[in-house]
Structures are given as structure tokens and as C-alpha cells.
Amino acid sequence: MIDFWPLIGIVVITAGLALKLNTLLVILVAGVATGLVADIAVMEILSILGQSFTQNRYMSLFILILPMIGILERFGLRQRAEALIGSMKKASVSKILMTYLLLRKATNGMGLSIGGHPSMIRPLIAPMAEAAAEKDCPNLSDEKRQSIRALSAASENFGNFFSQLLFIGTGGILLIKGVMTDNQLDVKLETMALWALPTAVASFVLFVVFSKIVEVRLLKPSTNQSASATANADAQKEGQ
């Protein structure tokens, strides 16, 4: 009979996140509960948790990014980005996001991480995309602005998620390699990274098509705007 008790950690995490409790505390309780159910000594559980923390201590750099981005925004980072795009005549929402997506995939393939929602999308890419949209549609509604921001966030997701296995040193591909080795499947890291390339290319093409469709829909003048423009033109003709 299969023992499902070691899966208690999943229940704890699901319930904790549903109740909007402290995420770190929920994960810690889930780990301890899973260890106890699996008959692991308390000291060994703490040792595993400590080892995991030290091995991933670089993740604490994320905490330093937030105040840095806040300071940059405070001194006009968003305004400078919008002004830069406003000065570029051929800039468009889709071109900006496709350029960022291509750059994100290329740097992922080299093992570099230049992006992220808090460090790139919110302070730079989204404002640049909004500024590009305002060139063709000066009176952007709040709904359209939110759609552009969502599309900007999607470019980060497509760029990171579908290309993070292009570099043989990333945690994801090493995890897959470890699982396959444990199951007596001998696959080289270079081969695994090569097979990740079609997914990265396909996701780029898919996002290009999707962003073009969304851009056309967002920048298409609404019926009210068209009627208002026609009325203003008629009024000017009558005045003349």
C-alpha cells in the first residue's frame, strides 16, 4: 500500500498560501512536517534546511534589488525611459518587447541573468512600451495601459521560462540531469541544452505573432474615439 503521508508538505503549502500566510514560514513548516512524517531526525531536518540555505544564499541578492530599483525610480528612471522611446520614431510596442525577449533568450543561453519583473520589466520595459504606444494613440485608456504592462510581463515569462535550459550550468537542467542519472538514463548536458533550443525558438515566434495581434487590437481607435474625431472634423468644416 502506498504511503501518502510524506506528501503532507504539499497540503501545508497549499493551505498556507490559500490563507495568505507568510510564505517563508509556510515553506519551513512544510519541510519540517514532511521530514517528521518521513521519520527523519529533527537535527537532520535542520541540517538539510541549513545546507539548502547556504547553497542558495545568492537568492538573497533579490532583496537588494528592490531598494535599488526604488531609488532609481525615485530619481526619474521611468521618465527617462519614456523620453528615450518618445524620441525614437520607429519604436513600437511589439518591437521593444521582441528586442527584450531576444536579448533575454541570448543572455540566458550564455548563463547570464539581466532581467526580471522587478529589475527590468516594471522600471524600464513596461514604461518604454507604454511610451511607444502613446506615439500612435495619445489618449491611452487605463485598460490599454494594463494590457501593455501585462504583455511586457509576458515577454519576461517567455524569455526566462522557455530558454532557461539553454545553458548547461542552470539549476533546472542540472536537476533534470540528476533525475535522469538516478534512473540510469545517461544523457549529456550538451544534448539536453540542444534539445531545449527548439522550444526557445518556437516560444519566440509565438510571442512575436501574439504581440503583433495584441498591438493592433490595442492601438485600434475605439468607436467612441472615431465618432468624436468625425464630429470634431465636421465642426471645424462648419466653422470655416
Measured in degrees and rounded to the nearest 5, phi and psi for residue 142 equal: -65, -35
Q: How does pLDDT run across 122-175, given as a tens digit for each residue?
A: 888 888 888 888 887 778 888 888 999 999 999 999 988 888 888 877 777 777
Q: What is the pLDDT of residue 58?
A: 46
131-170 in b/e form (b: 16+ CB < 10 A) is bbbbbeeeebeeebbebbbebbebbbebbbebbbbbbbeb
Range 169-178 contact pairs with CB under 8 angstroms and sequence separation of 24 or more:
169/111, 170/111
Give the pLDDT mean for 91-111: 85
Rounded Cα gap, residues 220 and 228, in angstroms = 14
What percentage of the chain has pLDDT greater than the value 70? Answer: 74
pTM above 0.75, yes or no: no
pLDDT at 108 over 90: no
Q: 20 or 54: which carries more pLDDT confidence?
A: 20
pLDDT tens for residues 191-210? Answer: 888 888 999 999 999 999 99
* Residue 161 vs residue 182, higher pLDDT: 161
The region of weakest confidence among 11-20, 57-66, 74-83 is 57-66
Q: Which amino acid is at 155?
A: S
As a whole number, the mean pLDDT across the chain is: 77
The predicted pLDDT at position 110 comes to: 78
Reported as a pLDDT band with limits 50, 70 and 90, residue 1 is low
Give the angle 40-42-47 at the CA atoms, nearest 5°.
90
The three-point CA angle 146-150-152 to 5° equals 115
Question: First and final CA of the chain: distance in angstroms?
Answer: 89
Dihedrals φ, ψ of 119, to 5°? -95, -25
